[in-house]
Structure 1
Amino acid sequence: MTNKLKIINDPVHGFIKIPHEILFDVIEHPYFQRLRRISQTGLLNLIFPGATHTRFHHALGAMHLMFTALETLKLKGVSISKEEEKSAMLAILMHDIGHGPFSHALEKMLMDDWHHEKLSILLMNKMNETFQGQLSLAIEMFQGKYQRKFFNQLISSQLDVDRLDYLKRDSFYTGVSEGNVNTQRIISMMNVCEDELVIDSKGIYSIENFLTARMFMYWQVYYHKTSALAEHLLVKILDRAKVLISQGQDLPCSENLHYFLHKNQFADPTEEDVQRFTELDDNDVIQAMKFWTKSEDIILSYLCKAVIERNFPKSIISSEPFSADFIKDKVEKTNLFFNITNGEELVDEISRSLLPYNSTYQPIELLEKNGKTITLEKAENQILSNSINELNTKYILSFPREI
């Protein structure tokens, strides 16, 4: 018999325990193993060379933090059964199983409006059939259908173990220390009141530090102008490939990527759609971009060379939208330099918006010593919560360096 109660050595959290055999079985499943070939942060390693970690790393880390959080809650007198513990760990382990190549970057580009969470549920249900219903409660928790709400809040909320892991992990691999949150301190402050996840009021500054760390990581890392541009280029490349294919061109690529570029309808995915999706990973897209650098289409070859050779277009960032005349000037210069008429394909204005803390949707609740709860932004000793609940938007304009 195989010993399934393994210990995994993780560079971020140290030793990670697998306390239930079903967790090992899910990790061994081909759907989960595919996450080894899905980048956690898209093309971020082109800007931060150390950011080569995968969704596989992140899922294991989030599972570990879920176990730690549940152990903390049990020590505080919260009743959690073995079945609930196992299911919560399964839910967070599988929460990203529906991610496609390069994670968020190409979401909706391959299967239309199929968000990764929608695909995750679809794949979870298929795996549940394989494991004879052992994942049913985990799927309930993931979808927020289980009556004890704090389980879903630990999986997906403004303060969940998913965010705690990716912030600490991405900070570690990018080398950006501003995102290095104290996960153990935050988890030690977690509590449950009326089946809702709350934070002991004395942990308020750890929570504010978490929120500001997340804000800095978004603007300094995820929404860094070159990071945002690299992600946008991936979308542009696949979009351009689809246009050329619709015009009758045959672009070289892997069999599975070829399938998705040629098919347009995914309202009700077939067995073949799902099977082919679970065989797709970053490698398919990288291989295609390498082929397409030699495409006769100037736009496609230019975009692919920008990524493969890391020769990105020039980008400038602003807190205000760029004027139409400024953009038009860039387009005209692009047309002139490349001797083309569709220069707007190489000149792009993109935007990135962030709301660091949403005080109206699932606000973070603090548990006071008298047993009452209060939302974070209403706490008397809060320092930053009232100033980070406004939407902030940055605009990025990219255009060929040659002009």
Structure 2
Amino acid sequence: MAYRDEQLHEEKVFKDPVHRYIHVRDRVIWDLIGTPEFQRLRRIKQLGTSYLTFHGAEHSRFNHSLGVYEIVRRIIENFRHRPFWNEEERLLCLTAALLHDLGHGPFSHSFEKVFGLDHEDFTRRIILGNTSVNQILQRVSPDFPKNVADVIHKTYPNKLVVSLISSQIDADRMDYLLRDAYYTGVSYGHFDMERILRVMRPMEDQVVIKYSGMHAVEDYIMSRYQMYWQVYFHPVTRSAEVILSKILQRVKELYESGYEFHVKPVHFLSFFNQEVNLEEYVKLDEAVVLYYFQTWVDEKDPVLSDLCNRFVNRHLFKYIEFNPNLQLKQWAELQQLFKKAGIDPEYYLEVDSSSDLPYDFYRPGEEEERLPIHLLMPDGELRELSRQSDIVESISGKKRTDHKLYFPMDFIEGLSERSKIKKRILEILHG
């Protein structure tokens, strides 16, 4: 039997708190789960610094990747023998779902910003490079690794396959909303996924939803909206991210200035030199990063030591609502006041902005084409979701943006009571 069709002697199951069980029958999938590159995802948290806000948010990218695989497996089972569905694409869909987050680094988004990296680029490099994952995919067929990478990169010719893991209602979003709600303990990320899976139908270039399932989709869209503002953009989480970014920025600056580290950042050197090779990238996980943060608490450099202490022991920055576009004068004055007070604004004063577009319909010519969710009407016609749903129409295309100013209140309070600088800083911060 060809490797691509080989089934395990006995189905393997993972007990999962969100989907109850995750089922694996394909030898290829089982072998991929066992690779070092995939096992590394156990050591990367799904929600980065959110565990400092929601103490249950300790789940990993490994959990989530299995969850996305399981949702796609269930969707495909429902698609069997339906028009537009090609059973030959089954293994490709399952593999792309499993591996879609393979390139995420530790605390990925903060890390990417400081070092100018892109996790999607590393996902592709792991799939196509000299890795255990690539060896397994090559055994399926010589072009299989490229096909998997193309699905994840959204360049695969069959758009229906791409839409299963990358669209406005896909397996990736469904799993992370349910999983993140479960582990953070919040109530708003829940929606009826089973119902959505039952009403999904394959069409030529995307998955569509039977009209009878519209209310379940409305619930999903609102869940996504709530999760972004209540969990993903939580200001305490963002405060931890700001500090994390500042630590990496400081370490990079110290390295470039020839500073002698007490514990040399060996694992970061290729990142500083912008020569990141794949082998070094996959060796870096959150356990390694946190080891350095803990040792740098004792560094001679006061800024690095303080920032690491804040992150490790959760002494985070305070925050206020602050829009630099509307408060330019105060922003400039605060920077000057911080300098005069001996607090480096480069590391201790930061505006962080969050924005989200919960649902949008396709607008030709826009940078990012967002394929809309289509409803399959009883007469066979396709209708865009917001044309049919008042709830979705009310938030469709509406981008919400939020600005916060982060700062170390303990430093400000530590200034002399008679200090005019302290008085003026507090006046600006308290409005």
Are the structure 2 counterparts of residues 214 and 2 from structure 1 closer, same or farther at C-alpha, using a change threshold of 3 Å?
closer
CA distances 1:281-322 after superposition (whole Å, capped 9, x unpaired): 001111111122222222222221111110001111357756
Code of the residue aligned with 1:212 in structure 2: it is M
Code of the residue aligned with 2:37 in structure 1: it is Y
What is aligned with 1:124? 127
Quote how far apart the aligned CAs of 1:26 are.
Answer: 0.4
Code of the residue aligned with 1:124 in structure 2: it is I
CA RMSD of aligned residues (A): 2.3
What is the identity percentage for the equivalent residue pairs of Structure 1 and Structure 2? Answer: 32
Q: Which of 99, 105, 109 pairs up with 2:104?
A: 99
Code of the residue aligned with 1:351 in structure 2: it is S
What is aligned with 1:197? 207
Unaligned regions of 5+ residues in structure 2, if any?
A: 1-6, 363-369, 413-431
Matched residue SS, 2:47: coil
Q: Which of 30, 33, 40 pairs up with 2:39?
A: 33
Residues in 1 aligned to 2:346 and 2:269: alpha-carbon distance in whole angstroms: 28
What is aligned with 1:343? 345
Quote how far apart the aligned CAs of 1:261 are.
Answer: 4.3
Matched, 1:210 2:213: no
Matched residue SS, 2:201: strand
Residues in 1 aligned to 2:351 and 2:205: alpha-carbon distance in whole angstroms: 45
Matched, 1:229 2:239: yes
The answer to whether the Cα contact below 8 Å between 1:256 and 1:279 also exists between their aligned partners in 2 is no
Are the structure 2 counterparts of residues 343 and 144 from structure 1 closer, same or farther at C-alpha, using a change threshold of 3 Å?
closer
Q: Which of 8, 17, 25 pairs up with 2:14?
A: 8
Code of the residue aligned with 1:188 in structure 2: it is R
Matched residue SS, 2:372: coil
Residues in 2 aligned to 1:21 and 1:37: alpha-carbon distance in whole angstroms: 24
The answer to whether the Cα contact below 8 Å between 1:13 and 1:61 also exists between their aligned partners in 2 is yes
Residues in 2 aligned to 1:344 and 1:335: alpha-carbon distance in whole angstroms: 9
CA distances 1:235-275 after superposition (whole Å, capped 9, x unpaired): 121111101100001335576523234423x4xx6xxx100
CA distances 1:348-371 after superposition (whole Å, capped 9, x unpaired): 111011111121221111111111
Are the structure 2 counterparts of residues 303 and 15 from structure 1 closer, same or farther at C-alpha, using a change threshold of 3 Å?
same
Q: Which of 93, 100, 122 pairs up with 1:88?
A: 93
What is aligned with 2:29? 23
Are the structure 2 counterparts of residues 145 and 387 from structure 1 closer, same or farther at C-alpha, using a change threshold of 3 Å?
closer
What is aligned with 1:68? 74
Residues in 1 aligned to 2:126 and 2:10: alpha-carbon distance in whole angstroms: 23
What is aligned with 1:250? 260
The answer to whether the Cα contact below 8 Å between 2:195 and 2:216 also exists between their aligned partners in 1 is yes
Moved more, 393-402 or 328-337: 328-337
CA distances 1:16-63 after superposition (whole Å, capped 9, x unpaired): 100211001000000000000001000101000000000000000010
Are the structure 2 counterparts of residues 77 and 194 from structure 1 closer, same or farther at C-alpha, using a change threshold of 3 Å?
closer
Quote how far apart the aligned CAs of 1:123 are.
Answer: 0.7
Q: Which of 298, 304, 307 pairs up with 1:300?
A: 304
What is aligned with 1:385? 393
The answer to whether the Cα contact below 8 Å between 1:352 and 1:395 also exists between their aligned partners in 2 is yes
What is aligned with 1:172? 182
Code of the residue aligned with 1:122 in structure 2: it is R
The two structures have a TM-score, normalised by structure 1, of 0.90
Runs of 4+ in 1 over 4 A off after TM superposition: 1-4, 75-78, 252-256, 318-322
Matched residue SS, 2:48: coil
What is aligned with 1:139? 149
Moved more, 298-307 or 149-158: 298-307
The answer to whether the Cα contact below 8 Å between 2:324 and 2:351 also exists between their aligned partners in 1 is no
Residues in 1 aligned to 2:108 and 2:9: alpha-carbon distance in whole angstroms: 32
What is aligned with 1:362? 371
Matched residue SS, 2:375: strand
Are the structure 2 counterparts of residues 319 and 14 from structure 1 closer, same or farther at C-alpha, using a change threshold of 3 Å?
farther
The answer to whether the Cα contact below 8 Å between 1:376 and 1:382 also exists between their aligned partners in 2 is no
* Larger CA Rg, structure 1 vs 2: 2
The answer to whether the Cα contact below 8 Å between 1:204 and 1:382 also exists between their aligned partners in 2 is no
CA distances 1:79-99 after superposition (whole Å, capped 9, x unpaired): 332x42111010010000000
Matched residue SS, 2:101: coil
Q: Which of 51, 56, 76 pairs up with 2:62?
A: 56
Code of the residue aligned with 2:354 in structure 1: it is R
How many residue pairs were aligned?
391
The answer to whether the Cα contact below 8 Å between 1:252 and 1:288 also exists between their aligned partners in 2 is no
Are the structure 2 counterparts of residues 256 and 25 from structure 1 closer, same or farther at C-alpha, using a change threshold of 3 Å?
farther
Unaligned regions of 5+ residues in structure 1, if any?
A: none
Matched residue SS, 2:21: strand
Code of the residue aligned with 1:51 in structure 2: it is A
Residues in 2 aligned to 1:38 and 1:149: alpha-carbon distance in whole angstroms: 30
The answer to whether the Cα contact below 8 Å between 2:208 and 2:374 also exists between their aligned partners in 1 is yes
Residues in 1 aligned to 2:319 and 2:249: alpha-carbon distance in whole angstroms: 20
Residues in 2 aligned to 1:322 and 1:400: alpha-carbon distance in whole angstroms: 22
Matched, 1:186 2:191: no
